[in-house]
Copies of this chain bind each other. A is one copy, B any other.
Amino acid sequence: MSNQLTPYQAPLGNLPNQTGNARHWYLPASDRTVHWGYFSKQLQPVVEVSSGDYVTLECLTHQAGDDPARMISGDRGIESVYHWTRDQKNVKRRGAGPMNAANGAGGGQGVHILTGPVRVQGALPGDVLEVRILDMYPRPCANPEYAGRTFGTNLAANWGYHYHDLIEDPKPREVVTIYELDGGDFARPLYNYRWGPITDPDGIEHRIYDYPGLVVDPEKYRPKRGVLRNVRVPIRPHFGTLGVAPKEADIVSSIPPNYTGGNVDDWRIGKGATLYYPVSVEGALLSAGDTHAAQGDSELCGTAIESSWTGLFQLILHKQRDIAAGSHLSQVHWPLLETHDQWVVHGFSYPRYLTDLGANAQQEIFQKSSVDLAMRDAYRKIRDFLMQVHALSEDEAISLISVAVDFGITQIVDGNWGVHASLAKKIFIDGGG
């Protein structure tokens, strides 16, 4: 965590300097380095880097207001982003909606606090941006009462899969569960409460969690302690949202994932992983946020353990002219994930939803998604990947998919639902690298 609130060049330290002139940029999270709830090709970059450079991105959870004592207080960066009084709201726009939306500026059409964008020199549409996640570490609490500890929040949200399929009363309801990281491999549940209603500093009443950055006092909602007493959650730190700006619209909600990445919400997008994104606009404009301490495949209730983490990335630009036919880069028309032992293909209900669905895409995507559509897209993508990158016939690819590729449900809560296909590298005798 930085004491500064604006980007600066940090020492390379022991980071490899392959290019001979690699630099390391540090982006503290503050009201000057984040955009809230949207991607936009019109945003001014907060830093410009060259291929091979490193960037450290502090990322903040957009749900720190669920327990401000544990997730906001005493942290200058977080406080600068969340500051909102009747007189002053530091980050006014939250979401891609209208600035005069009834529930607040930006309409909450997009919720994630995104650090960036990072402009990559020379990046043009058709190029591929390789994003290596070299490290990821939690942001310690700055409130003296909880100094050094790390917390996260899970919201069973109105956009969750369960919301209209509940047994217990009252129905429906939104519930926050606060977790603490134990410093090792697990997060431990602390307490939960039924969220809302809340009146924001501008006097708008929110009966449901329909706008990001609302700061509540959990004690007012009669928190239950000792919940999930026998449970510890294996942590899977990752970036829920990581991607580049799309060209199709000036301002785009951060919620639905897209061919440019964004809110893919695959817990495999963590330390050691490499992402490949198609560059859609000049400069690429990479942003990161929505860090999660843990999430299951499906993110069923609408959120993960939402928690503030910092990531160290290396960015490599692959120019279109240098991409060999049949290389894995040649297939990057969607967010491709490489881990130590797997290739992961991301299918979506609408792979390029902004064009697939036309003028009202940003609204309609929330009505039209299905797991079935995402499964179809994932099948086609993994088949094409195997045929193009591994030079298999269609018959070879289909047999291999059936006997060795695992399809999982990435998320069913982000508008554009996802199914991923996981391909183990060990399947390939030459390593499949």
Please tell me if the beta carbons of B297 and A402 are within 8 angstroms of each other in the complex: no
Chain B contacts for A298, CB-based, 8 A:
375, 401-402, 405-407
Please tell me if the beta carbons of B233 and A427 are within 8 angstroms of each other in the complex: yes
Please tell me if the beta carbons of B429 and A231 are within 8 angstroms of each other in the complex: yes
Contact partner of A231 among B161, B168, B400, CB < 8 A?
B400
Chain B contacts for A383, CB-based, 8 A:
162, 167
Could you tell me the distance in whole angstroms from the C-beta of A424 to the nearest C-beta in chain B?
Answer: 7
Could you tell me the distance in whole angstroms from the C-beta of A5 to the nearest C-beta in chain B?
Answer: 31
Contact partner of A402 among B156, B234, B387, B393, CB < 8 A?
B156
Please tell me if the beta carbons of B299 and A402 are within 8 angstroms of each other in the complex: yes
Could you tell me the distance in whole angstroms from the C-beta of A199 to the nearest C-beta in chain B?
Answer: 24
Give the residues from 198 to 235 in chain A that come closer than 8 angstroms, CB to CB, to chain B. Answer: 227-228, 230-234
Whether A379 is near chain B, meaning CB under 8 Å from some CB there, is yes
Please tell me if the beta carbons of B166 and A396 are within 8 angstroms of each other in the complex: no
Bound together, the chains give a CA A304 to CA B405 distance in angstroms of 11
Please tell me if the beta carbons of A379 and B297 are within 8 angstroms of each other in the complex: no
Whether A141 is near chain B, meaning CB under 8 Å from some CB there, is no
Give the residues from 413 to 433 in chain A that come closer than 8 angstroms, CB to CB, to chain B. Answer: 419, 424, 426-430, 432
Please tell me if the beta carbons of B428 and A398 are within 8 angstroms of each other in the complex: no
Whether A140 is near chain B, meaning CB under 8 Å from some CB there, is no
Whether A89 is near chain B, meaning CB under 8 Å from some CB there, is no
A306: nearest residue on chain B (CB-CB)? B403
Could you tell me the distance in whole angstroms from the C-beta of A373 to the nearest C-beta in chain B?
Answer: 9
Whether A302 is near chain B, meaning CB under 8 Å from some CB there, is yes
Whether A4 is near chain B, meaning CB under 8 Å from some CB there, is no
- Contact flags (1/0) for A188-199 with B, using CB distance below 8 Å? 010010100000
Could you tell me the distance in whole angstroms from the C-beta of A98 to the nearest C-beta in chain B?
Answer: 30
Please tell me if the beta carbons of A300 and B379 are within 8 angstroms of each other in the complex: yes
Chain B contacts for A368, CB-based, 8 A:
none
Could you tell me the distance in whole angstroms from the C-beta of A433 to the nearest C-beta in chain B?
Answer: 12
Give the residues from 165 to 179 in chain A that come closer than 8 angstroms, CB to CB, to chain B. Answer: 165-168, 173, 175, 177, 179
Bound together, the chains give a CA A263 to CA B200 distance in angstroms of 54
Could you tell me the distance in whole angstroms from the C-beta of A286 to the nearest C-beta in chain B?
Answer: 27
Q: What 15 additional pairs, Cβ within 8 angstroms, besides A161-B379, A192-B396?
A: A175-B398, A194-B395, A227-B396, A230-B430, A231-B396, A231-B427, A233-B400, A294-B404, A296-B406, A298-B402, A299-B402, A371-B375, A407-B408, A408-B409, A409-B409
30 A-B residue pairs with Cβ-Cβ distance under 8 Å, sorted by A, are A154-B402, A156-B402, A162-B383, A162-B398, A165-B376, A166-B394, A173-B395, A175-B399, A177-B396, A187-B403, A189-B396, A227-B396, A228-B396, A228-B400, A231-B400, A233-B403, A234-B404, A234-B426, A294-B403, A294-B404, A295-B402, A296-B404, A296-B405, A296-B406, A297-B405, A298-B402, A298-B406, A302-B402, A370-B371, A375-B412
Task: Kindly list the 10 A-B residue pairs having the minimum CB-CB distance in the complex, ordered from nearest.
Answer: A301-B402, A297-B406, A298-B407, A168-B394, A177-B399, A407-B409, A371-B371, A296-B405, A300-B402, A175-B395
